[in-house]
Each structure stands twice: as C-alpha cells, then as structure tokens.
Structure 1
Amino acid sequence: MSTSTTSIFTFVAQQVSIYFGIPMLIAGVIGGILNIIVFLSLQTFRQSSCAFYLTIMSIFNTGLLVAGLFSRIMISGFTIDWGQSSLFYCKFRLFFLNTFTLMSLICICLATIDQYFATCSYPRWQQWSNFKLAYRLIIAFVLIAILHNIQYYLFYNHIQLPITGKISCIITNDIFAKYVSYWFNLVFIGFLPIIITVFFGSLAYYNVRQLTYRTLPLVRRELDKQLTVMVLVQVATNFFTLTPFNILSALSLNKSIMSDQIVACSNLEHLLQIEFQTTFINDEPFKLGQLSLLSHSISYIDTCKFIFNEFIANNNKTLFIDQHTLKLIFNCTQYDTFAWELVKSIRSLSQSSCP
C-alpha cells in the first residue's frame, strides 16, 4: 500500500474518531445516566430484579464509554496515547476496560435469564427471580471479574519496539496472550453471551406471549412485557453488533496463523541464504562451519520459533518457524547430500518440544 493511500486512511480514521466518536461519547454517557435515573426513580422498577440487572449494566456501560471510547478518541483522533507515557495508565486502562465489558455482558445475561424465570408459568421457577439473589450474584460476579482481570495489570508492560523505537503497551506473557485471544475475546465476551441471551431471550419472548392466557394482575403483566421488550432490544443490539466483530476476530486469528507460516518459511529461507550462500566464500567446509555456529547458537527449540543468543547478534533475535517447516527439518529425507549434512547437524539438538 502506498504512503499516500495510508495517509488518506489515517486521516479518515482521525476524522471519524473526532466527528463521530465525540457525539457518540456524549450521547452514550447522557443516555446511560438517564437509564439509571429511570430505573431508580420508578418504584415498580426498584422492586424488580431484572430492572436491577439493567441498572447495573447501565452503570458499567457508562464506565465502558469513558474508559474505552474516550481513550480511543484521544489515540485515533488526537494522537494522544497516555498508555505510552504512563505505565500505570497502560495497565489499569485495560483492566477497567475489560472489567466493564465483562460485567456489562454478564448483567445482560443475568437479566435475560431472570426475565425468563419471572415470566415462567411454574411458580417454583419464578422463585429464582428475586432481588436478594440478584444482589448476591452481582457482588459475586464483580469480585470474579476483578480477580480475573487483575492479570491485565500483571502482564501488560511497556515494550520498546525494535523498528520504530516507540514505547508500546502490550502483553508480555505468551500464555496469557493466547488465553485472551482464544478464550476471553472469543468465548467469554464473544460468542458465549450471545448464545445465552438469544436462547433465554427466545424463551422469555415465548413466555410473554402466553401471559394473556394466564391470570395475572394487570400491573405485573405490563411490567413483565416492558422489561422483556427492554431485554430483547438489548439482546438484538448485542447480536447484530457483536456477532460480526466476533466472526472477524476468529477469522483474523486464523489469518494470523497462516501469515505466521508464510513468514516462517521466508525467514528460514533468508537465514539459510545468509549462512550458506555467501557469495564471496562458498566452499563447503566454511558452510559446515557456519552450520555448526548456527546450531550451537540456538537457545531452545519451540514449535513456533527459534531464539538465537548474542553469539549471532548483539541482541536476541527471534526466527518464527511453523510446525510444517520443523517437520521438514527433523524428519524429511528428501535432501541432496550437502543439505542432508545440514539436517543431520541440526538433528543433534534437543527435540523435546518439536512436533
């Protein structure tokens, strides 16, 4: 992509962040505050456990706008990233952002399940819809969310990028990075809340349609209808906004795996060209000597990467190699005589982590 095209996209993203992001932030915060006022001012809502869940969800949504959208506007719209200058902000921004996101989705899940129990025709199941249980569940899930997301404080750190030299706020633990990508983003705040809310929302909608055939006070019937409509609107909004994002996230993970394999083969080929196809020294003893140097400079072997120590470069260099390439190196016998000497030399290394 040309520099001019990149500049155009950057400018467009900046303008969108400013002229769409700021009105969305203001409208969202005002709307969240109005939701809280409505739920707390009306007595019928104050006595409903479903309305309690929606109130807590509005609080977390408002906090999510401030912690997430506001910082994104500053980064994309005004190129001001406090996460680069402050390690405290780097850690706690992600902590609060993911805690608010997780709790918002938990609240809509609990509200949908609660409304299903509240509209159920079985009195025994209706007992599960009560304010006391809702209060305890919110406290429990808040504690769980805080303990879960404290990992963002532990594993997010400042790293200086080797190419640009800029400070970046990124995850420094590979295991936690994989957990966030494959479990937290795709499951816990991805497809799982959508499945739960759509399933129980459909059941609650069916129960509400049966209310006309049941003997209930008019106030209770209308309250159940209003709350069910509120919940279903939120469920539909989450479904149509989060589902495309989750699908794209899943596809991007698969795309990154494929791109890693392409980069792996390219990096391996480039390294071998440097070590074994030197234009001014091309005799086999020299190449085998370079191979021995390369072999003894490998710190450890992983299924995804080789890490070379300072014997090759002034600072550590990582060479990404996919599993297919590793299998070719250690198992394939379709090499010529000289190439097979290369394979046999590398085979002497530890292979405990190889596929």
Structure 2
Amino acid sequence: MSSATITSLTIAYQKVVICMGIPILFLGLIGGIFNVFVFLSLRTFRQSSCAFYLTIMSTLNIVQLITGLLSRILISGFDIDLTRSSMFYCKVRTFIFQIAAANSFACICLATIDQYFATCARPRWRQWSNIRLARRLLIVIILLIVIEQVPCLIYYDQKRLLSSNETICTTTTGDFDKFNTYFNYLVVGNLLPQTIACTFGILAHRNIQQISYRTAPLVRRELDKQLSAMVLVQVCYMCVILSSHFVIYMIAVYGNIKDSIVQMQINLVYVVSLCLYYSHFAFPFYIYMIVSERFRRQFKYVAFKMHMDCWRPDRVGPDILTNST
C-alpha cells in the first residue's frame, strides 16, 4: 500500500511540474517580451527611471525563467538533467539563476524606492528620481550581486552517490550550503526585498494619496499614479508568493520528517508553491494589464498601431506617441 501511494505521489509530482510549469513558462516568456516591447517603444517610459527598472526586471525575469523554471520542468517533469552530464552547466545554471533572481528583486525594490522619491512633495527629493542615477545605481548593484554569486562557480560540482551510483550536481561544502540557504535565499531572496519593497511601497502609496494637491504637470502626475499602481500590486503579489513558498521550503527541507509518505506529500505541496514562486517572475505583464487601464491602451497602441502599421506598404508610419498616451 505504501509503495503504491509513493508511486502515485511521484506521478502527481511530475504532473504538477508539467501542467503548472509549462503554462507559467510560456506565459512568462511572452509577458516578459511584451513588457520590454512596450517599455522600450514609448518615449514616456524610456524617460522614466521607474520604467527603466521594470524594463531590466522583465529582461532578467526571462533569463530566470529559462535557467530556473525550464530546467526544473526538464529535471522533475521529464527526468532530463543536464547538470549530471555537463560540469559547465552544473556550475553555471545556479550562478545565472541566482544572479537573475537577485537582480530582479533588486529592480522591483529600486522601482518602489524610485516611486517614493518621484511622488514626494519636496522638489529636492524628487530630483533623486532620474534616469541617469538609475542607470549608474543599477550597474553597481548588478556588479555587486555578480561578485557575491561567484562562489557558486567554485562550490557547485558533480558528485557521484555511492548508494545509487548516480551523479548529481550539488555543493561540495556544508558551509557554503548554509551560506546559500540562509543568506542568498533567506536574506537576499526573501526578507530583504520584501522589507524594502513593502516599506517604500507603503510610503509611495501615502504620497500618491496626496499627489492631487501637488503642483506638477498633469502628464507627470498620471504617469506616477500609473507606475505606482503597477509596482504596488506587483509588490503585494511578490510578498504573498515569497512568504508562502519560504515557509513550505523550510518545512520540506529542514522539517526532518521520517515518514516517507508524509515527506512525499509535503514535496507535492512544495512543488506547487515552487511553480507559484516562478509565477512572480512570469506574471508582471498580466498584473500591469489588469491593474492599469492606461497600460492596456499603451500596449494596444504599440502592438496594433505603432508597429503593425509600419509593415503596411500603403501607409506612412504613425506619429510619435505624445506624452498624453
């Protein structure tokens, strides 16, 4: 009875990875491309530091989905593990995956901070929200995260298990494993981005409530309202997903559960939370479409007017989008 239960739970585990992972991957890649497409096509967004962060975040999300979710689908869903056959991929996969994830979290945090400064009543503080500073700041943060993740290239290696004679990709030292879990995953991947994003998100929301009383161009006020709504809803979704996934992860990995059936059941819950974790990187475009009517109009303009009309031989390309779009 127990072996049959374990077999059915194993099959359910694989089906969850395939049935949830593939749609999330497909939607995430399309949504990420659409985000980059819209943000780079409109001058309104190209001149905004917050939109700059969201553009880089969308690009990093695509990389993270490919190195993280796609690999997980192949490994857990189809038993195709390239880390077992390639030493290079064993080392590089985690390195790139964690760089993309950490920088993606950094971008959403910087976007909330930027919106806080952009919506401040003090003109001097609003000067901190500018595209030149955003580019320099993000370059520094990306370099720091890359340097911090270099140990992944050193301590991840292939190891042959004596019990099953199988080769796995794992860390070669327990100290780095603890550092990776408690610092990279707990601090960098959970507590720090949630704390920063929630704190400045609340402050930005308070500023938005008073923005109608501020002397500022109407176009700028509407853009700030739009970006703040998009970012704040994404932050709320991020906090719910990361918190729930972290709790389930700690139970599954460090719960010290002896019963194999209970462990398999927890693993099944874990893989569901893992797919939802990847949805944070996959769904920003759809969150923006739901939250912002203005973003929906901008996407329709870019997709169906600005670019499609350029391919029509009997039409002249559309005029540059005005700031009111």
Q: TM-score higher than 0.5 here?
A: yes
- Residues 1:91 and 2:91 aligned together: yes
Structure 1 CA distance for aligned equivalents of residues 77 and 246 of structure 2: 25
Residue identity in the other structure for 1:3: S
Residue identity in the other structure for 2:22: I
Q: TM-score of the superposition, structure 1-length normalised?
A: 0.70
Aligned to 2:64: 64
Q: Kindly indicate whether the alpha-carbon contact (under 8 Å) linking 1:90 and 1:157 is maintained by their aligned counterparts in 2.
A: yes
Residue identity in the other structure for 1:122: R
Q: Kindly indicate whether the alpha-carbon contact (under 8 Å) linking 1:186 and 1:249 is maintained by their aligned counterparts in 2.
A: no
The alpha-carbon deviation at position 249 of structure 1 amounts to 3.6
Structure 1 CA distance for aligned equivalents of residues 247 and 27 of structure 2: 28
Bigger RCO (CA 8 Å, 6+ sep): 2
Q: Mean Cα displacement is larger for which, 242-251 or 82-91? A: 242-251
- Give the paired residue count: 258
Q: How does 1:55-204 map to 2 (within 5 A)?
A: 55-204=55-204
Structure 2 CA distance for aligned equivalents of residues 43 and 150 of structure 1: 37
Aligned to 1:13: 13
Give per-residue Cα distances to partners, 1:235-275, cap 9 Å, x unaligned. 0110110011223344556534x98xxxxxxxxxxxxxxxx
Q: How does 1:278-289 map to 2 (within 5 A)?
A: none
Q: Which has the higher helix share?
A: 2
Structure 1 CA distance for aligned equivalents of residues 17 and 188 of structure 2: 27
The alpha-carbon deviation at position 32 of structure 1 amounts to 0.2
Aligned to 2:246: 246
Structure 1 CA distance for aligned equivalents of residues 172 and 102 of structure 2: 22
Aligned to 1:336: none
Structure 2 CA distance for aligned equivalents of residues 231 and 201 of structure 1: 8
Q: Which runs of 5+ in 1 are unaligned?
A: 260-355
Aligned to 2:279: none
Q: Kindly indicate whether the alpha-carbon contact (under 8 Å) linking 1:57 and 1:107 is maintained by their aligned counterparts in 2.
A: yes
Q: Which runs of 5+ in 2 are unaligned?
A: 259-325
- Residues 1:29 and 2:63 aligned together: no
Structure 2 CA distance for aligned equivalents of residues 22 and 182 of structure 1: 29
Q: Kindly indicate whether the alpha-carbon contact (under 8 Å) linking 1:120 and 1:207 is maintained by their aligned counterparts in 2.
A: yes
Q: Using a 3 Å threshold, how does the CA distance of structure 1 residues 253 and 23 change in structure 2: closer, same or farther?
A: closer
Structure 2 CA distance for aligned equivalents of residues 183 and 68 of structure 1: 19
Greater C-alpha Rg: 1
Q: Kindly indicate whether the alpha-carbon contact (under 8 Å) linking 1:48 and 1:130 is maintained by their aligned counterparts in 2.
A: yes
Q: Kindly indicate whether the alpha-carbon contact (under 8 Å) linking 1:49 and 1:131 is maintained by their aligned counterparts in 2.
A: yes
Q: Kindly indicate whether the alpha-carbon contact (under 8 Å) linking 1:186 and 1:250 is maintained by their aligned counterparts in 2.
A: no
